[in-house]
């Protein structure tokens, strides 16, 4: 399995405090069957400003320790970039990293309480530049949780969605568990990742969520969410994104002015 979203670099954000905890997290991930991890420290949220150079330096040090310890994990660089209007400039000048530094996909962290004004326009600007937005843990956003039609519209336009493993298994509460499983059933999820922050409270474990997803989607599709899809993203390749099973056709006209045809042209 490939974990596309993990706060595993020491001392950069609210993840592990030191490299020993980072190593312990890598060991736990390997024991769970994870063979690759994308290190995604928070950035651009006004608290953590992890620029490309800092991430690469920390990643290099951890890679060396992991190799020396014989842990069967390959580490890649990335970032959990807070949603903001300057995201294109941040990517261009190295203040924000794309997944595997390949310029193809970027992880965008949504706030828990709101959807930022003109959010869909920011995503559209990324698509125009050939960058695919991946929304991280939107199941924990109150707006999307109460109205998944908005997320369905974004997915129909080519935005990808990453749901947190612990959301699916109920560790964030029954409400978020229900939302996550509904999103899976509607075809609104493209990647399951750990969003790990620690060895105990928020560990790098994917297998439990994969098994729950298999009950909803079947074994093959569940494996796709933790293997084939994240691998394609790592390699900068497009993934197959079927139209969501539930999509309110009137939502776009009611809320947004962007024409669907414009987005489809960008997504091709």
| Sequential pLDDT tens for the chain (268 residues) | 999 999 999 999 999 999 999 999 999 999 999 999 999 999 998 899 999 999 999 999 999 999 999 999 999 999 999 998 889 999 999 999 999 999 999 999 988 888 888 888 889 899 999 999 999 999 999 998 888 888 998 998 889 999 999 999 999 999 999 999 999 999 999 999 999 999 999 999 999 999 999 999 999 999 999 999 999 999 999 998 776 765 544 444 444 444 444 444 444 4
Report the pLDDT value the prediction gives residue 247, as an integer from 0 to 100.
54
Structure tokens at 126: 């990324």
Q: Which of 145, 230, 207 is nearest to 182 (CA)?
A: 145
Nearest alpha carbon to residue 164 among 215, 104, 206: 206
Burial class for 84, CB neighbours closer than 10 Å (0-12, 13-18, 19+):
middle
The predicted structure's pLDDT at residue 268: 47
Domains of the chain: residue spans and CATH: 2-267 (3.20.20.140)
Q: Which of 91, 111, 95 is nearest to 103 (CA)?
A: 91
Look-up of token digits 């807070």: 82
**Of the candidates 16, 104, 105, the residue with the CA atom closest to the CA atom of residue 66:** 16
In this prediction, residue 46 carries a pLDDT of 83
**Residue 246 has what pLDDT?**
57
At 263 the pLDDT is 46
């Amino acid at each position: 399995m490939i974990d596309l979203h993990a706060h595993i670099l020491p001392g950069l954000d609210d993840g592990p405090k030191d490299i020993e905890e980072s190593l312990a997290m890598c060991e736990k991930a390997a024991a769970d069957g994870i063979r690759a991890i994308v290190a995604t420290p928070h950035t651009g949220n006004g608290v953590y400003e992890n620029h490309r150079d800092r991430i690469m330096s920390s990643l290099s040090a951890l890679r060396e320790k992991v190799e020396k310890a014989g842990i069967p994990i390959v580490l890649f660089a990335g970032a959990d970039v807070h949603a903001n209007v300057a995201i294109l400039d941040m990517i261009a000048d190295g203040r924000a990293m794309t997944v595997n530094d390949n310029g193809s996909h970027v992880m965008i962290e949504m706030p828990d309480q709101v959807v930022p004004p003109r959010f869909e326009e920011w995503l559209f600007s990324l698509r125009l530049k050939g960058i695919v937005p991946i929304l991280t843990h939107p199941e924990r956003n109150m707006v999307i949780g109460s109205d998944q039609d908005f997320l369905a519209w974004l997915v129909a336009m080519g935005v990808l969605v990453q749901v947190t493993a612990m959301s699916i298994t109920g560790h964030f509460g029954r409400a978020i568990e229900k939302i996550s499983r509904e999103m899976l059933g509607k075809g609104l999820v493209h990647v399951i990742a750990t969003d790990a922050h620690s060895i105990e409270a928020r560990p790098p474990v994917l297998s439990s969520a994969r098994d729950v997803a298999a009950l909803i989607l079947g074994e093959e599709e569940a494996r796709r969410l933790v293997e084939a899809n994240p691998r394609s993203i790592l390699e900068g390749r497009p993934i197959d994104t079927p139209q969501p099973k539930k999509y309110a056709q009137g939502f776009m006209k009611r809320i947004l002015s962007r024409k669907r045809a414009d987005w489809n042209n960008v997504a091709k």
